Amino acid sequence: MRPLARIRYGIAASLAAMLVAGAAPAAPIVTKEGVLPFGTELGEDAAALPTELFATELAGGERSYQQKLGDMLFSSPALFGGVAKQAGMSCNTCHAQGAGNAALFVPGLSSRHGNFDTTGALFNPKTDNGLFDPVTVPSLRGAKNLAPYGHDGRFASLRDFIRNVVVNEFAGPEPSGGVLDALVAYVQDISFLPNPKMASDGKLATATSQAAHRGEVVFNRPFRHNASMSCATCHQPSNAFVDGQVHDIGSGGRFKTKTLVNADFNAPYFHDGRFDSYDQVVGYFDKHYDLGLSDGERADLVAYLDAVGDASTPATTDTVQTELDEIAVFVSVLDTAIHDHNAAIVAVAVDTVGGEWRELGEHYPEAKNTSVTAGLKQRGTARAAVREMVLTLRQVDMAAARGDFDAAAEAYADYREQVAPATSALAAAEPFSLFDPSVRRQHFAALARLAELAK
User: For binding to other proteins (CB under 8 A), which residues are involved?
Assistant: 29-36, 77-78, 85-88, 351, 354-355, 358, 366-371, 379-381, 383-385, 387-388, 390-391, 394-395, 397-398, 443, 446-447, 449-451, 453-455
- CA atoms of 63 and 188, how far apart (whole Å): 12
Residue type at 158 in one-letter notation: L
Q: Answer yes or no: are the C-beta atoms of 209 and 307 closer than 8 Å.
A: yes
Among the listed residues 23, 13, 187, 35, the one whose alpha carbon sits nearest the alpha carbon of residue 109: 35
Query: Between 21 and 87, whose beta carbon lies closer to other proteins?
Result: 87
Q: Please list, in sequence order, all residues whose beta carbon lies within 8 angstroms of the beta carbon of residue 206, skipping any fewer than 6 positions away.
A: none
Query: Between 249 and 409, whose beta carbon lies closer to other proteins?
Result: 409
- CA atoms of 169 and 121, how far apart (whole Å): 10
Taking the complex as a whole, the smallest distance from the CB of residue 183 to other proteins amounts, in Å, to: 19
| DSSP 8-state symbol, 288 | H
Query: Between 233 and 371, whose beta carbon lies closer to other proteins?
Result: 371
Query: Between 86 and 176, whose beta carbon lies closer to other proteins?
Result: 86
Query: Between 128 and 366, whose beta carbon lies closer to other proteins?
Result: 366
Element (H, E) at 191: none
Taking the complex as a whole, the smallest distance from the CB of residue 85 to other proteins amounts, in Å, to: 7
Taking the complex as a whole, the smallest distance from the CB of residue 52 to other proteins amounts, in Å, to: 24
* Residues in a beta bridge with 155: 149
Taking the complex as a whole, the smallest distance from the CB of residue 366 to other proteins amounts, in Å, to: 6
Query: Between 267 and 390, whose beta carbon lies closer to other proteins?
Result: 390
Query: Between 45 and 117, whose beta carbon lies closer to other proteins?
Result: 45
Taking the complex as a whole, the smallest distance from the CB of residue 25 to other proteins amounts, in Å, to: 13
Query: Between 420 and 454, whose beta carbon lies closer to other proteins?
Result: 454
Taking the complex as a whole, the smallest distance from the CB of residue 455 to other proteins amounts, in Å, to: 6
Q: Measured between alpha carbons, how far is residue 385 from residues 263, 276, 374, 377, 396 in Å?
A: 40, 43, 19, 12, 17
- CA atoms of 439 and 427, how far apart (whole Å): 15
- CA atoms of 73 and 95, how far apart (whole Å): 13
Q: Is 36 helix (H, G, I), strand (E, B) or coil?
A: coil
Taking the complex as a whole, the smallest distance from the CB of residue 67 to other proteins amounts, in Å, to: 25
Taking the complex as a whole, the smallest distance from the CB of residue 59 to other proteins amounts, in Å, to: 37
Q: Measured between alpha carbons, how far is residue 438 from residues 243, 244, 309, 451 in Å?
A: 46, 46, 32, 20
Query: Between 51 and 442, whose beta carbon lies closer to other proteins?
Result: 442
| DSSP 8-state symbol, 269 | B
Q: Answer yes or no: are the C-beta atoms of 106 and 40 closer than 8 Å.
A: yes
Taking the complex as a whole, the smallest distance from the CB of residue 436 to other proteins amounts, in Å, to: 17
Residue 141 exposed, middle or buried by CB count within 10 Å (0-12, 13-18, 19+): buried
Query: Between 288 and 449, whose beta carbon lies closer to other proteins?
Result: 449
- CA atoms of 131 and 200, how far apart (whole Å): 42
Query: Between 328 and 376, whose beta carbon lies closer to other proteins?
Result: 376
Q: Is 254 helix (H, G, I), strand (E, B) or coil?
A: strand
Q: Is 226 helix (H, G, I), strand (E, B) or coil?
A: strand
| DSSP 8-state symbol, 115 | E
Taking the complex as a whole, the smallest distance from the CB of residue 120 to other proteins amounts, in Å, to: 17
Q: Answer yes or no: are the C-beta atoms of 72 and 353 closer than 8 Å.
A: yes
Taking the complex as a whole, the smallest distance from the CB of residue 221 to other proteins amounts, in Å, to: 51
Provide the terminal-to-terminal Cα distance of the chain, rounded to the nearest Å: 20
| DSSP 8-state symbol, 116 | E
